[in-house]
Amino acid sequence: PIKQKFFEELKKHGIPIVPNYMIKGPTPYQTDFVLFVNGHQYIIEIDEKQRKLNGRQVELDNWKIRQFSKKDIVEHLPDVIEELKRLC
């Protein structure tokens, strides 16, 4: 429910986010969301995958990572949206 709410809000604000994107490689990785904007690739993760991403940094060198907690989404969604808008 939190990820769905997040996705819907970003779409309302015109942020071209893609849910459940699969990054291929020696160890495929499914993200919560990705954002392709201004020649950059961003992985947007909500909360629980932080440790997994840190361990895979070598394979994800060409990706920038933004991580938000569930608390950020529930209590500070306008701030999160503004941060992502600045990337666009």
Is pLDDT at 56 greater than 80 in this prediction?
no
Q: Tell me the HSE value of 7 on the side-chain side, using a 13 A CA sphere.
A: 11
Is pLDDT at 60 greater than 50 in this prediction?
yes
pLDDT higher at 88 or 10: 10
Contact 63, 23 (CB under 8 A): yes
Q: Which of 1-5, 15-19, 37-41 has the highest mean pLDDT?
A: 15-19
pTM, entire model: 0.83
Is pLDDT at 81 greater than 90 in this prediction?
yes
Write down the pLDDT at residue 35.
96
Eight-class DSSP state of 72: H
Is pLDDT at 51 greater than 80 in this prediction?
no
